[in-house]
Structure 1
Amino acid sequence: MLKKERYQAFVAYFSTHSPDAQTELNYRNPYELLVAVILSAQCTDKRINQVTPALFERFPDAETLAASNPDEVFTYIRSVSYPNNKAKHLVGMAQKLVGDFDGVVPQSVEDLQKLPGVGRKTANVIASVVYNAPAIAVDTHVFRVANRIGLTNNAKTPLAVERQLVKYLPKDTLAIAHHWLILHGRYICVARRPKCEICPITWMCRYYEKEVRPKLERNTQKTK
């Protein structure tokens, strides 16, 4: 399958079967999503959703969070990964958000990356989810699935994956394609042993074509 055909098949399938894909993080406004995404680094969305209700009740906006300190924030997020660093990032982010952006989460990826704890991936999430910008965040799921199914050609870095996806995906699908790839990677195309036996897109998958199908055919020949 040619790359153009694979992209067309990918968009066609998920547009039909997952037209409303969205983040599994719970949030009510851009500030809450920003906090949740910062917390979600190397941690499950399920864990973050367990932590944020109490955190948001205590710190409902950037102003209250900025007036706090890392030690207090730590008590609310102690069960997530790297809580000490994330507590410092959250307070620093809130203080810069209040000081430089009047407490309003900025729209541009460049401005978002000025906030402590916000790298390119987090900035792309906020820009695409909140502001529907033509950006795509590359986390471990997106990186793995895009390379595995053949949307990208053995890209070695998240930025390389991002550039290829932005180049070949229709601009109006970039924001939702991020969620298509994440959810597919989270529940089917898992890291150690992809669940090819239940995957609905093996017919367009380069990994299945090159790695899985030949093994199945060899096993079939042996049993004859």
Structure 2
Amino acid sequence: MMTLTQDDWTAITLTLQLASIVTTILLIISTPLAWWLARSHRWWKAPVNALVAMPLVLPPTVLGFYLLVAMGPAGPIGHFTAFFGMNGLAFSFWGLVIGSCLYSLPFVVQPIQNAFQAMGNRPLEVASTLGAGPIDRFFSVIFPLCKPGFITGAILGFAHTVGEFGVVLMIGGNIPGETRVVSVQLYDHVESLQYDSAHGLALILILFAFFTLTGLFIVQRRQQTGMIVQE
């Protein structure tokens, strides 16, 4: 029989909180970054693109290891937090936020970047001739035309953060109520042979992945339908 413990619900709540914060931060950071990547012709665009996309191919434990070193007492981030009298970020919730933002960055940047590139220059040129300023152009032209890209990026960023394991385990360890997210809680159940609880969490993650991908495909289908209608 599949069962969920109080610790399971705590891990689920913590995971949703982490994913929500990370997705919000990534949408703010990714928008100007994706805009620059979509519009720039500088020679360093390729290296920046590679840096953004590296989490797609880099083992999460590698990223987690170097973040842990950077956040440790001897690392640059550790020195920075100690200088201001702050607690260290290693093995903390906000350390997970930083690690998750870096690891999920390409899943948010790339859909938005693709939407910016698909939009082209014509809508902006028309808006400029009508006297629209940069902020007005973004909210009245860019965002409405690229909204599917933003939605796709938000969905992928949120889902990817929920499913993280290697990075969060390296940076946050396994502290109940602080850094023990769903993936780590599932690992604990399997390690202690608590298969009933493991089945419960695994089923939740499977259903979450299924409905997330279904929603994503619906968004993409509507986007394609809208493009056909416009043509």
TMscore range, shorter length = under 0.3
TM-score (norm 2): 0.26
Larger relative helix fraction: 2
